[in-house]
Chain A
């Protein structure tokens, strides 16, 4: 099939990804792009234990992901690409065109301001999201498939924050 979803989620592989998106999209494999995880057997084992045995997980650095994306897009199976931060997705988009990016969860942290129930951003992260959009990626926030996607403009304006 192809890569069906490109998601930024600081929790990486967790319930929303494996079950929330994995089941309705009938995901066969997940490409987890993180330079730290890609070089740690222990971290990989930790994440691998969280997914059902029929789901494959590939751990790549950002640079390796750029090279491998054409192959994953040509794969007959259904896949999902995941990064833990905006900067990694920005790096990937520099090297491989991506039409749409899903912001699945960026949680509270130093210097971040809440923009949505599950999205907190620093000024630098806001700029990086605008850069992603300027590179041609449609950026929306959506934690689970049943939720309404929130546009980048509404996200940055905090329009959906109640």
Chain B
């Protein structure tokens, strides 16, 4: 449980993976806004083949005991790899199409287990998308 001192050692963690600097960019944004960037593990896969992406993500999840992975694009290599990983990991959740509001919701999740928090964050990220101005 977190407290006013910012101790959030028991709070939920997740992998964030995607194209280019997407993952580390989002993690740095979460850190800047909340100071909780350390709950997220950014993974960049630019030079890796498909098998190595899958192995890297699986190893990161095992090493950090993380069961939630956020990716950027439905058709992306990280999403494909994560879906293969989930096939043998029944307690894990993949959220494709991650955005900053989604991750902010996740790092502040309290009273939910990781899969519930991931699904809640996915919905929060979805409704956070708005369009303004011409054509409305």
Residues of A within 8 A of B (CB): 10-15, 17-19, 42, 46-47, 49-51, 106-109, 117-118, 120
Interface size, B (range): 10 to 19
Q: Any chain A CB within 8 A of the CB of B116?
A: no
Residues of chain A within 8 A of B48, CB atoms compared: 107-108
Give bound CA distance, A109 to B47, whole Å: 10
Give bound CA distance, A5 to B47, whole Å: 23
B80 in complex: contacting residue of A50, A106, A118, A120, CB < 8 Å: A50
Residues of chain B within 8 A of A51, CB atoms compared: 75
B84 in complex: contacting residue of A17, A46, A106, A108, CB < 8 Å: A46
Take A107-B48, A109-B49 as given contacts and tell me if A19 and B83 are in contact as well, using a CB distance cutoff of 8 Å: no
Residues of B within 8 A of A (CB): 19, 47-52, 73-77, 79-80, 83-84, 87
Return A36 CB to nearest CB of chain B, in Å.
12
A107 in complex: contacting residue of B49, B74, B84, CB < 8 Å: B49
Question: B75 and A46: CB pair below 8 A?
Answer: no
Dominant secondary structure at the A interface = loop
Question: B77 and A14: CB pair below 8 A?
Answer: yes
Return A117 CB to nearest CB of chain B, in Å.
8
Residues of chain B within 8 A of A11, CB atoms compared: 49-50, 77, 80
Residues of chain A within 8 A of B49, CB atoms compared: 10-11, 106-109
Question: A49 and B74: CB pair below 8 A?
Answer: yes
Question: A18 and B75: CB pair below 8 A?
Answer: yes
Return B45 CB to nearest CB of chain A, in Å.
9
Question: A19 and B73: CB pair below 8 A?
Answer: yes
Question: A46 and B80: CB pair below 8 A?
Answer: yes
Residues of chain B within 8 A of A49, CB atoms compared: 74, 83
Residues of chain B within 8 A of A108, CB atoms compared: 47-49, 52
Q: A106-B49, A107-B52 are in contact. List 18 more A-B contacts (CB 8 A).
A: A11-B77, A14-B80, A15-B19, A15-B73, A15-B76, A17-B75, A19-B73, A42-B87, A46-B80, A47-B80, A49-B74, A50-B75, A51-B75, A108-B47, A108-B49, A108-B52, A109-B52, A118-B47
Question: B47 and A13: CB pair below 8 A?
Answer: no
Give bound CA distance, A11 to B52, whole Å: 11
Give bound CA distance, A108 to B52, whole Å: 9
Residues of chain B within 8 A of A42, CB atoms compared: 87
B75 in complex: contacting residue of A19, A107, A117, A120, CB < 8 Å: A19
Residues of chain A within 8 A of B79, CB atoms compared: 50
10 A-B pairs with CB atoms under 8 Å apart are A10-B49, A15-B73, A18-B75, A19-B73, A50-B74, A50-B76, A50-B79, A106-B49, A109-B49, A109-B51
Residues of chain B within 8 A of A19, CB atoms compared: 73, 75
Give bound CA distance, A46 to B19, whole Å: 19
Return A150 CB to nearest CB of chain B, in Å.
17
